Amino acid sequence: SPHCMLHDLFSTYFSLFLNGFQRSKRNLICLFTLHFQYQSTPRGYSTFLRTGVYTIGFITVPLSQEEKEFPIAYSMVIHEKIEMFERLLRALYTPQNVYCVHIDQKSSEDFRSAVRAIVSCLPNVFVASKIESVIYASWSRVQADLNCMEDLLKSPVQWRYLLNTCGTDFPIKTNAEMVQALKLLNGKNSMESEVTNDYKKGRWLFHHNVTNTVVRTEVKKTPPPINTPMFSGNAYFVVSRAFVRHVMKSQEVRVLLEWEKDTYSPDEHLWATLQRMPAVPGSNPPNSKFQQSDMNSMARVVRWSYLAGDVRSGAPYPHCSGTYRRAVCVYGAGDLQWLLNQHHLIANKFDPEVDDVAIRCLESYLRFKATYSVSSIEDGSWLETHSQGN
């Protein structure tokens, strides 16, 4: 039968790691020491969790004082693949952070039950109080994040920054590395925000109807209700608590949000535009000197098929070793070395059905890095230490 285990980089190395880790770090991590008797399906998760032994490798105490004093908030918008959600949550999880999980209203009852079962085991993780039926490229994707923003501001956790994620994301930095990077922002936000090209202007120049898809009409919209230009970016952001509070309370922002509701893929221009409005905390000026590409921001590293190529010939990044989905690289194990050399906090996309080894390697690498000094990982001394006596 399938196993439930901490996904290993190499099974032999990882068993050595676990044996030593259980002896020396038992007070830091809850480990699964059981075999998973159910398939990795939503119903299987729910059934398993009812046994009351859900302790899968989640870090249960802050690993440093610096991390303890700098909690991070997460908005997690998901709709399928319960195993991937659990693995993403485990990779991001620390007890001082806070996590809002938005489950798509269209998700199956089994999936929703499984998510709620997982969430019930972790006191700082909760399901969003308002749930949307998320339609690709529609306002509902933005509303899902806004719902989590509202809930997170009510949380007793005094988090410093908010990161939004989806079900195909995976971190490429440890929590400690994220804290250090966020501190260097010194209250600024980080996200893609660039001048809008003519092709993308059509996304907000015309009214769009939303059913099961988003359909452009020939009805022109009124101009944007702001005194600064519209900018383009992507759905992902790293924003300060002050930014979130402003978005929730500002009348100017409220008017812009309302205007955005019938545009195409508003998540790819709303956040980028807010980031260049002078009154928004942590924003950059609208002047072209302050443009920030996705590769220069820290929110997300994404590789597009039409930009990939030979870096020596001017391409921003190499071709994908996995596969492409909607022109976005679904990473394979061959992409990991490149990914781990990037400054971004999170990468997109991953899919265990495309390359589970890539995810397993990242899980092991990040756990090693979080719990052992970097030098001991690089020179292999952690293995020597924890293999003694086995």
Which residues belong to the active site? 268
**Residue of 120, 111, 88, 103 whose CA lies nearest to 41:** 111
CA distance between the termini of the chain: 26
Residue pair 124/95 in contact by the 8 Å Cβ criterion: yes
**Using CA atoms, how far apart are residues 239 and 297, in angstroms rounded to an integer?**
12
Residue pair 13/383 in contact by the 8 Å Cβ criterion: yes
Residue pair 134/79 in contact by the 8 Å Cβ criterion: yes
**Using CA atoms, how far apart are residues 232 and 215, in angstroms rounded to an integer?**
20
At residue 186, what is the residue type?
N
**Residue of 86, 83, 6, 90 whose CA lies nearest to 39:** 83
CB-based burial, 179-204: b 16+ in 10 Å, e otherwise? bebbeebeebbbbbbbebeeebeebb
Provide the 8-state DSSP code for 197: P
Residue pair 152/128 in contact by the 8 Å Cβ criterion: no
**Dihedrals phi, psi of 176, to nearest 5 degrees:** -60, -40
